[in-house]
Amino acid sequence: MRRLLALALGTAALLTACTSTQDTKTETDNAPRPGTLRVLASSELSDMTPVFDQVRKDTGITIRPTYMGTLDAVDLLAKGKVDGQYDALWLSSNDYLRLRPDAAKKVVSETSIMSSPVAIGVKTATVTALGWQPDKVTWSQIEQAVQDGRLTYGMTDPARSNSGFSTLISVASALSGAQSALTDADVTKATPRLKEFFKGQKLTSGSSGWLAEAYQRRGNVDALLNYESVLKGIPGLTVIRPSDGVVTADYPLTSLASTDTTTRDNVRRVTTDLRTAALQKLITTRTHRRPVVTSVPPASGLDTSRRRELPFPGSRSVADGLLESYENKLRRPSRTVYVLDTSGSMAGDRLSRLKKALTALTGDFRQREEVTLMPFGSGVKSVRTHVVSPGDPQAGLDAIRADTKALGADGNTAIYTSLEKAYEHLGSGGDTFTSIVLMTDGENTTGAKAKEFDGFYGQLPAAQREIPVFPILFGDSDKAELQHIADLTGGRLFDAQKGSLDGAFEEIRGYQ
Amino acid sequence: MLGSASTLPLVRRIAGIVLAVLLIGGVVAAVVAGRDNGDKGTATKTVRGVIGSEKADFFADPDVVKALAAKGFTVKTETSGSWAMEGRDLKGYDFAFPSSQAPADALAAKYKVRQPLPRPFYSPLVVVAHRSAAQVLADNGLATLDKSQDRGTLKMGAYLDAAKADRTWQQLKGADKHGELTGTLYIATTDPETSNSGALYLAAASYVANGGRVAASSADVARTAPLMHKLISVQGAQQSSSDGPFRDFISGAGNPLVLVYESQVASLLLEKQPVGDLVVLYPDTTANSDHTVVPLTPEGRALGELLSSEPTLRKLAVRHGFRPQGDTAEFVAATAAHSSYLNQTLTGVRQAPVPTSTVLHDMARRARG
C-alpha cells in the first residue's frame, strides 16, 4: 500500500515537472479533497480559468487542472497511473484515446463541451502579398506558397502537444488526397509532399503559449498552425480555416472507471453546468471556442461557414506511423548543443542524476538529429558531436551514452564562456531546428560575465540570434541569472529543482 | 427563456454508451411523500435497475420521480452500455433496461425471464443533415425531401450502392457549390462494437444489403461483411456515444450526415431550441431503438408495465423525445408544432428487424476489424 502511494506521489511529482514554469496550475499536493475535481487536461485549457471560476460559483465544485499533452495523458491512463490520481480527463479530443483499448476501457462517459478547428493564422501582410481570399484558401495553396518560398510557419510538436498532433493529421489528410480516413498507404504516398510542406516549418514548440511568444519575437515567420481558439488570441493574424477540411477538437469532459459515485456525480454536475447557455456563452466569448448548444451562437469573429471534417485515423498503427514519420523523416532535423555543468559541485549524487537523465534521453532522440555534448567546469572540457543516422541510429546513441558515462566533476563554473563556445560551435543553423540546452547547478564563478555575454550575443548575426537557450534550473543555480539567459535568447526556463532533471530534459524535447 | 430550457437535453446525454457499468450520480431518490388519497399504509418500494445511458435523464427528471413516487416506486438506476449488460452480474437488481431488443432478449434468456418483455417506448434511427447536403442528396436520387424541406427520406438502397462504389461528394451534382461537401460520402455513426446506435445502423444496412432479409447466419454475416466494413472503416475513429457526433454537428463541425436517435432531435425541438437549417432524413429502412425492460423480480415487471401503461409516464417519455409503444397519438399530439421536422407516423419508413445479439456482435467485430 505504502509503495503504491509512493509510486503515485512520484507520478504526481513528475507531472508537475513536466509542466512549464509559466503556465503551471498544478500543486505538488495531489491528494483528493471533497468538492475538488482533479482533472488531467490539455494545456490549451489554461485559458479556461474564468470559466472554472464560474463553475465553482455555480456548483461549489473546484476544478484543479494538471496540464499535459494528449499522447502522454493517454499513455498514463493506459498504464493505470491515472487511477486514484485524477478524477476526470479533459483532452482536446478522445480520438487518439479510443485507438488504445487499454486506455478506452478506463473511460465510462464523455461529453463534448466546446469545439475548435485546426486553422492557419497568417500575417495579414502575407495574406495580401499572396493574394489570398481568406475564406477560399486550400491546403494545396498553402503547400504551394511554402514550396515557392513565400510562406514559413511555426507549429507545436505533435508528439507532445494536442494542437500539433491535430495539425499533423489535418495536413496529412489534406495533402494525401485521401477521401476518407487515412490509411498507412495514404501516409506512404503523401510522404514526399509532406516532406516539402514541413520544410516551411521554422518554429517548433512544446506548447502553444511559447509558440506565440517565439513567433512574435522572431518577426520573420509568416504564419502559425494551431487551433483557431489559440490563433484568435494572437494579434495581427488572419485566421484561415482551409476550405478543403480541418480536424476539430471537441473537448470531451470524461469520467473515469476508477472513480466513485460521488466523483462521477460531481463530473456530471460540472458537465451540466458547462453546457448551460450562460457558460457556453462565457466559453465562446472568453476563449474563442465554439459552443455545442444551438441556443448560443459562436462569438463574433468566428466564421460560421462550414468545413469538411477530416476523419481522424481509425487505427493506432496509422496514427503512430504518421507521428513516427513526422519525427524521423518529415520535419527538419534538430541540432542541439547540451552545455552541461560538470564543475566540482556536481560530484556525487548530482552527477549521477545528470548521467541517468541524459542516458534516458537517448531513447528519445530522433533520426537525423545532431547532438553535441559540451561539458564544462572552469571552461569547456570537450566538444563531442554525434548524429543519429537513419542507417544506423544505434551507433550514434551508443556514442552519446558512452560520452555521458565518461563525464567527471571538477573545476569552477564558467557558464557564459561555455555558452559563447556553444554559439560558435553551432554557427549559422542551416536547415535545422537549432538550440542550446544549458544545465547548471550553480552560479557563474569564472570566465565571461553576464554583461559580456549580453554583448557577445548582441553582436551575433541575426540568424544566430535566433538560436534559443533553454536553461534548466537545478541544484543551487540562480533563477534570475538563468531567466535572463532565457529572455535574452528567446528560450524558456525549465525547473528541475521542483521536478526532476529527467522531466526537464524530456519536456525540452518539444522545443528542439 | 431558451437559455433556461437548454440544460435538459444536455443532462440527458452526459453519460455515453459506456464500457462498464457505472453508478450514476443522478440516482433517483424520490421523496417518500404521503399520498394524496390518504392511503397511509402504502410505503414506496425501492427498485434497482441497470439502464441504457440515454434514459438517465428521463429517470432523473423530477416530474418522472414524482410520477413514479405517486405509484409507490422509488427507482435507483445505474447506467451501462446496452451491450455491456450481458457481461454483468445482475443479481440484486430488479430490472435491466437496455436500449435495444437484441440485448434484452439475450438477457431474458440468460435469466430465464418470461416473455413478452415490457417495451415502454422506442425511437427510430434518423440521419441529420444541413440543408445543403440534404438538397444535394435529393438532386442525385439518394433522398427525397418533403414539402417542408425540413425532413425527407434517405433511400438506403441507393446510399449503399454509392458507398459500395466509393462515391465522393465531388461526384454528386451540385456539391461543388458547397465547399464542405467533399470526400467520401458516408453517414457518421458511433462505434458499433460499443454503442447501440452504431450497432443498429449495421442492423439496418445489412438488412437492406442482404436483400431485405435479416442476417441470421455466419454466411449472411460473411456476405455483407465487406460492405459493412467499408461503411465503418471510411469513418476512421468513431465516438462511443451518439451525443458526441450530434454535438459536433450542432457546433458546425463534424460530418455532413450524422446518425442519431429521433429522440435526440425531438427533445431539442420540444424544448424549442433553435435547430438552424437542420434537416431530418428518415432512412426508408431503419432500425428502432426498442427500450425494453427485462424484469428480474416481480417489482421490476410491475415497473416495466407501469412505464408502458401509466399515462403521465408515457407523456413524460414523449417530453424526452421517445415514442410510447402501442399508440402514436401521444407523440403526434405533443410534437404537432414540429411536424415539419418529424415524420410523426413514420409513414414510408420500413423497420428492419434486428439480428440476434450474437450475430450483431459478430457483424460489428468484422466491420471494425
Write out chain A residues lying below 8 Å of B341, CB-based.
none
Taking only the tens place, the pLDDT of each residue in B142-189 is 999 999 899 999 999 999 999 999 999 999 999 999 989 999 999 999
Which structural domain range is residue B243 located in? 124-288+343-368
Domain identity same for B362 and B284: yes
Lowest mean pLDDT among A74-78, A225-229, B43-47, B83-87: B83-87
What's the CA angle centered on A179, arms A178 and A180, to 5 degrees? 95
Residues B157 and B283 in one domain: yes
Instruction: Identify the bridge partners of residue A27 per DSSP, sorted by sequence position.
Output: none
Answer for the pair A149, A217: CB distance below 8 angstroms, yes or no: no
- The reply to whether A313 and A367 lie within a common domain is no
B230 shares a domain with B166: yes
Q: Does A242 share its domain with A200?
A: yes
Residue after which a domain boundary falls, among A237, A266, A291: A291
Chain A CA closest to residue B184:
A179
In this structure, of A8-12, A153-157, B205-209, B231-235, the range with the lowest mean pLDDT score is: A8-12
**A299 assigned to some structural domain:** no
d(CA A335, CA A350): 26
Is the dihedral angle over the CA atoms B152, B156, B162, B166 positive or is it negative?
positive
Q: What is the mean pLDDT of residues B209-222?
A: 94
Q: Residue A442 has which C-alpha cell?
A: 550553480
Residue of A179, A261, A269 to mutate, testing the B interface (most B Cβ within 10 Å of its Cβ): A179
pLDDT for the residue numbered B39: 43
B80-135 tens-digit pLDDT: 778 778 877 888 899 999 988 888 999 999 999 999 999 999 999 999 999 999 99
Q: Identify whether residues B253 and B347 lie together within a single domain.
A: yes
Which of B234, B251, B264 is the best substitution to test chain A (most A C-beta atoms within 10 A)?
Answer: B251
Please report, for the domain that includes residue B157, its CATH number. Answer: 3.40.190.10
Q: Same domain, yes or no, for B213 and B351? A: yes
**Contacting residues of B for A279, CB less than 8 Å apart:** none
Q: What is the pLDDT of residue A429?
A: 64
Q: Tens of pLDDT along A235-261?
A: 999 999 998 899 999 999 999 989 987
Instruction: Please give, rounded to a whole number of angstroms, the shortest distance from the CA of B361 to a CA of chain A.
Output: 17
| Domain membership flag for residue A449 | yes
Whether B264 and B299 map to the same domain: the answer is no
- Looking at the structure of chain A, the number of domains it has is 3
Q: Is A278–B3 a contact, with Cβ atoms under 8 angstroms apart?
A: yes
Look at B14 and A248 and tell me if their CB atoms are within 8 Å. no
Residue B278 has pLDDT above 80, yes or no: yes
The closest alpha carbon to A357, from A135, A508, A187, belongs to A508
Q: pLDDT tens for residues B317-338?
A: 999 999 999 989 999 999 999 9
Q: Which residue of B has its CA nearest to A107?
A: B19
CA dist., res. A302 & res. A297, Å (int): 10
Asked if B236 lies within 8 A of A313 by C-beta distance, the reply is yes
Q: Mark whether A495 and A354 lie in a shared domain.
A: yes
d(CA A195, CA A173): 14
A275 and A344 within one domain: no
Distance CA A44, CA A207 (A): 8
Chain A residues 87-106 with CB within 8 Å of chain B: 94-96, 98-99, 104-105
Lookup: cell for B291: 427500450
- Give the pLDDT band (50/70/90) at residue A27: very low
Residue of A83, A99, A306, A317 to mutate when probing chain B, most B C-beta within 10 A:
A306
Domain count, chain B: 2
> Do B156 and B280 fall into the same domain?
yes
Q: State the count of interchain CB pairs (< 8 A) between A and B.
A: 187
3 state SS of B113: coil
Q: Per-residue DSSP letters for A482-493?
A: HHHHHHHHT---
Q: Band the pLDDT of B204: cuts 50, 70, 90.
A: very high
Give yes or no: residues A347 and A417 share one domain.
yes
Confidence at residue A131, expressed as pLDDT on a 0 to 100 scale? 97
pLDDT recorded at residue A44: 87
Question: Do A243 and A283 fall into the same domain?
Answer: no
Q: Is the pLDDT of residue B40 over 80?
A: no
Q: Both A127 and A172 in a single domain?
A: yes
Is residue A354 domain-resident? yes
Q: What is the pLDDT of residues A64-78, one digit of tens each?
A: 999 988 888 999 999
Q: Does A201 touch chain B (CB under 8 A)?
A: no
- In the predicted structure, residue A389 carries a pLDDT above the cut 90: yes
Asked whether the beta carbons of residue A275 and residue B10 sit closer than 8 angstroms, the reply is yes
Query: Tell me, what CATH number does A279's domain have?
Result: 3.40.190.10
According to DSSP, the β-strands at A433-440 and A469-473 are parallel
A257 contacts B247? CB cut-off 8 A = no
A305 touches chain B (CB under 8 A): yes
Domain co-membership, A230 together with A133:
yes
Mean pLDDT of B248-275: 91
Average confidence score pLDDT of chain A: 90
pLDDT of A287 above 50: yes
Both A181 and A243 in one domain: the answer is yes
Q: Find the domain containing A183 and state its range.
A: 116-248+307-327
Q: First vs last Cα of chain B: how many Å apart?
A: 47
Q: Say if residue A15 is in the same domain as residue A102.
A: yes
Q: Over 70: is that where the pLDDT of A15 sits?
A: no
Residue A271 within any structural domain of the chain: yes
Q: Is A460 helix (H, G, I), strand (E, B) or coil?
A: coil
Instruction: Check CB contact under 8 Å for B15 and A108.
Output: yes
> CA separation (Å) from B305 to B28, B302, B309, B318?
19, 5, 6, 17
Q: Is residue A302 part of a domain?
A: no
Nearest CB among B168, B181, B237 relative to A95 is that of B237
d(Cα A104, Cα B332) in Å, to the nearest integer?
Answer: 40
> 3-class DSSP state for residue B302?
helix
**Residue A300 forms part of a structural domain:** no
- Residues of A with Cβ-Cβ distance to B234 under 8 angstroms: 180-181, 311
Contact B119, B293 (CB under 8 A): yes
| Intra-chain end-to-end CA distance of chain A, in Å | 39
Asked whether residue A28 carries a pLDDT value surpassing 80, the answer given is no
Place A23 in a pLDDT band, splitting at 50, 70 and 90.
Answer: very low
Verify that A353 and A387 share a domain, yes or no. yes
Q: Are residues A196 and A313 in the same domain?
A: yes
The CATH number given to whatever domain includes residue A375 is 3.40.50.410
Tell me, yes or no, whether A298 lies in a domain: no
Asked if B324 and B357 sit in the same domain, the reply is: no
Contacts of A255 in chain B (CB under 8 A): 22
pLDDT surpassing 80 at residue A25 = no
Same domain, B100 and B141: no
Averaged over A449-461, what is the pLDDT? 97
Share of chain A above pLDDT 90, in %: 77
